[in-house]
Homo-oligomer: A and B are copies of this chain.
């Protein structure tokens, strides 16, 4: 039943998501002993203007 929510900056390609989903699922099944069918992964693409670290938006110069 593991369900992943992964927030990351927008701009990753579908191919990167495809590889990431496959690899994360395989790893999870090995470590937790669960079936692939039970693993859901949801990606959230985040714009740099919607993410701040240390009080500064990532769309701003650092």
Q: Which residue of B lies closest to A36 (CB)?
A: B54
Once the chains are docked, how many angstroms separate the CA of A45 from the CA of B44?
10
* Majority DSSP secondary structure for residues of A touching B: mixed
Within the complex, what minimum Cβ distance (angstroms) separates A42 from chain B? 5
The 6 closest A-B pairs by CB, nearest first: A25-B55, A21-B52, A36-B54, A43-B50, A2-B8, A41-B52
Interface residues of chain A, those whose CB is within 8 Å of chain B, are 1-9, 12, 14, 16-28, 30-32, 36-37, 39-46, 49-60
Can you offer 13 A-B residue contacts whose CB atoms are under 8 A? A1-B8, A1-B46, A1-B53, A3-B8, A3-B40, A5-B5, A12-B32, A22-B56, A26-B55, A27-B27, A36-B55, A40-B52, A42-B50
